C-alpha cells in the first residue's frame, strides 16, 4: 500500500494545471446509455473512479475507450446486452447508482445493486428512487438490488420535489427525464456547476432542458437522443485544494483553467483570511505575502455556498491561522475524521457533533498519519507541506480516486513530496 512522504519546504511558486471535474465526468459518462450514437468526453480526469465507471459501463455492453493518455473518453452504447449493474463493481463507488436512471429511461427496465457504505456518512439513495417513482417507475428492492421497471416501457413526465437538496439524485432524475414522455419538473434541484455541465451535454445530445443552475429544472422529454462531443468542466474541488497550497505554505501560485464563479464563496473566505485571489488570462492566482493568515469561520452548504468537499483542506489551513476558527459541517455526518490525524501533527482541534473549533498554532510538526477518505487524504498532505520535518501519509489509495498526478503538480511549484511504493 503506497504512502506519500511530505517535508515542509517553504513558499511555493509557479503554475498548477487543473483537471476536468471527477464529479462531472462520473455523471456525464452514464449519459452514453441514453443514446445509440457515440458520446465523446474531452478534458476527462485520469482517476481510479473514472476507471471504475468505465468497467461498469462496459459490463452493461457499452464500448468505452480512453484516448489521448486518458483525457478523451470515446463511448458508444449501441449494443447494450446486459441490464444488471452487479454489486462487485457498484460497491466500489457510490456514483454507480447513476446508471439506473438512464438505463431505465432508454431500456424500460434495469437492475442495479445498492451501493455500499460510505466513510463520510450514510448518503442513502432513497431520493434517487423517489425521483424515478415520480416518473412512474415501479421499484422492487430485494437481495440488495433495485429492480426497476417502466410500465409500458417508458417513463412518464412528473413532478420531482426533493425534501432536501441532493446533487446525485438531481443528476439521476435529470438523466432519466430526458427520455420520459411529457414534461418533468425537478423542484429543490441542486445548482452545482456539475449539474449545469450535465445539462449542457444533454442539450448537445438533443435534450430539451431549462432552468439548470436554479432550484427548478424543467425537462421536456424527447423520443431519442443523438451523440455529441463535450468537454468536462474544470474540477472546482481540485481547484480549491491547490488554491490552499500557497495559502498554507506561502508564495504565489497560478491555477490554470480556474474560474472564480466555480468557487465564489470559497474565494471570499480565502480573501477574509488575508490572501490575494486574482483573475488572470490563464486562470486564478493565489498569493500569501503577509505572514500567517487570519482565522475565519466556515459553514458548509450546497452550491453556491462553501463546499463540503473543501472543508477538510480548509481545516488544514486554519490549523496554522492566527486566532480560532469554527467549522460547521451541515452536509455530511462523520466528516471530521481527519481531525485526529491533524491533532497528531500538533493541531489544536475540538470536535463536538457537526462543529469543529480550530485554534491555530505557529507551526505543525511532521508525523505519520493515515488518510480516512478522499478529501481527508489531501488535507493531510497540505498540512505536511507546512509542518516542520517529515509527514508520511498512508492509505493514499483514497487520493487516487479524486486527484491525478498530485506529486507532479505540487513538486512542480516547489513542494518536497514523493510517493513511496510499498509491497
- Answer yes or no: are the C-beta atoms of 39 and 86 closer than 8 Å: no
Q: Is 154 annotated as a binding residue?
A: no
118 is catalytic: yes
C-alpha cell at 102: 438512464
Cα distance between residue 392 and residue 253, in whole Å: 24
- By the 8 A CB rule, do 252 and 13 touch? yes
The annotation status of 97 as a binding-site residue, yes or no, is no
Q: How many CB atoms lie within 10 A of CB 153?
A: 9
Q: What's the CA dihedral at 40, 46, 48, 49 to 10 degrees?
A: -50
Give the position of cell 421536456: 220
Spatial CB neighbours of 106, under 8 Å, sequence gap ≥ 6: 33, 34, 35, 80, 179
Residue 392 marked ligand-binding: no
Cβ-contact 315, 340 below 8 angstroms: no
According to the annotation, is 125 in a ligand binding site?
yes
Report the alpha-carbon distance of residue 50 to residue 30 in Å, rounded: 11
Residue 123, annotated ligand binder?
yes
Q: Is 309 known as a binding-site position?
A: yes
Distance in angstroms (rounded) separating the CA atoms of residues 119 and 1? 19
Residues 25, 118, 249, 267: which is the catalytic one? 118
What is the Cα–Cα distance from 385 to 407, expressed in whole angstroms? 12
Q: Is 51 annotated as a binding residue?
A: no
- Going through 306-385 in order, the beta strands assigned E by DSSP cover 324-328, 348-352, 355-359, 364-365, 368-370
Whether the CB-CB separation of 3 and 393 falls below 8 Å is answered with: yes
94 labeled part of a ligand binding site:
yes
Instruction: Tell whether 340 is in a known binding site.
Output: no
> What residues form the annotated binding site for UDP-N-acetyl-alpha-D-glucosamine?
94, 123-127, 309, 331
**Numbered residues of the known binding site for phosphoenolpyruvate:** 22-23
Question: Any idea which residues carry the catalytic annotation?
Answer: 118
Annotated binding site: 22-23, 94, 123-127, 309, 331
Amino acid at each position: 500500500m503506497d504512502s506519500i512522504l511530505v517535508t515542509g519546504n517553504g513558499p511555493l511558486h509557479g503554475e498548477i494545471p487543473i483537471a476536468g471535474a471527477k464529479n462531472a465526468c462520473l455523471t456525464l459518462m452514464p449519459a452514453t446509455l441514453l443514446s445509440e450514437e457515440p458520446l465523446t468526453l474531452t478534458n476527462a480526469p485520469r482517476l481510479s473512479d473514472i476507471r471504475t465507471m468505465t468497467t461498469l459501463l462496459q459490463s452493461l455492453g457499452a464500448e468505452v475507450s480512453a484516448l489521448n493518455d486518458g483525457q478523451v473518453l470515446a463511448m458508444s452504447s449501441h449494443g447494450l446486452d446486459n441490464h444488471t449493474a452487479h454489486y462487485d463493481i457498484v460497491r466500489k463507488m457510490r456514483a454507480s447508482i447513476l446508471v439506473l436512471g438512464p438505463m431505465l429511461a432508454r431500456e424500460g427496465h434495469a437492475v442495479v445493486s445498492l451501493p455500499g457504505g460510505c466513510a463520510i456518512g450514510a448518503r442513502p439513495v432513497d431520493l434517487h428512487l423517489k425521483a424515478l417513482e415520480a416518473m412512474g417507475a415501479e421499484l422492487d428492492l430485494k437481495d440488495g438490488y433495485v429492480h426497476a421497471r417502466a410500465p409500458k416501457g417508458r417513463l412518464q413526465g412528473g413532478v420531482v420535489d426533493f425534501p432536501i437538496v441532493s446533487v446525485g439524485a438531481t443528476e439521476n432524475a435529470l438523466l432519466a427525464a430526458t427520455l420520459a414522455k411529457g414534461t418533468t419538473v425537478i423542484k429543490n434541484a441542486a445548482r452545482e456547476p456539475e449539474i449545469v455541465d450535465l445539462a449542457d451535454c444533454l442539450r448537445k445530445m438533443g435534450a430539451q432542458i431549462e432552468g439548470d443552475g436554479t432550484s427548478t429544472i424543467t425537462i421536456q422529454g424527447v423520443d431519442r437522443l443523438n451523440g455529441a462531443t463535450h468537454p468536462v468542466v474544470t474540477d472546482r474541488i481540485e481547484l480549491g485544494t491547490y488554491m490552499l497550497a500557497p495559502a498554507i505554505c506561502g508564495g504565489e501560485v497560478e491555477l490554470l483553467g480556474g474560474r472564480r464563479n466555480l468557487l465564489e464563496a470559497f474565494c471570499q473566505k480565502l480573501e477574509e483570511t488575508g490572501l490575494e485571489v486574482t483573475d488572470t488570462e490563464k486562470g486564478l492566482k493565489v498569493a500569501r505575502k503577509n505572514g500567517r493568515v487570519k482565522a475565519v469561520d466556515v459553514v458548509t452548504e450546497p452550491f453556491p455556498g462553501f463546499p463540503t468537499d473543501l472543508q477538510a483542506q480548509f481545516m488544514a489551513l486554519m490549523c496554522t491561522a492566527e486566532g480560532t476558527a469554527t467549522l460547521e459541517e451541515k452536509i455530511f455526518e462523520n466528516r471530521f475524521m481527519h481531525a485526529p490525524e491533524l491533532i497528531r501533527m500538533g493541531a489544536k482541534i475540538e470536535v463536538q457533533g457537526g462543529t469543529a473549533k480550530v485554534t491555530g498554532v505557529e507551526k505543525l510538526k511532521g508525523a505519520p498519519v493515515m488518510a480516512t477518505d478522499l478529501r481527508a487524504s489531501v488535507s493531510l498532505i497540505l498540512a505536511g507541506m507546512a509542518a516542520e520535518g517529515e509527514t508520511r501519509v498512508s492509505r493514499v489509495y483514497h487520493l487516487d480516486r479524486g486527484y491525478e498526478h498530485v506529486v507532479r503538480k505540487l513538486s512542480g511549484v516547489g513542494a518536497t513530496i514523493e510517493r513511496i511504493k510499498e509491497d
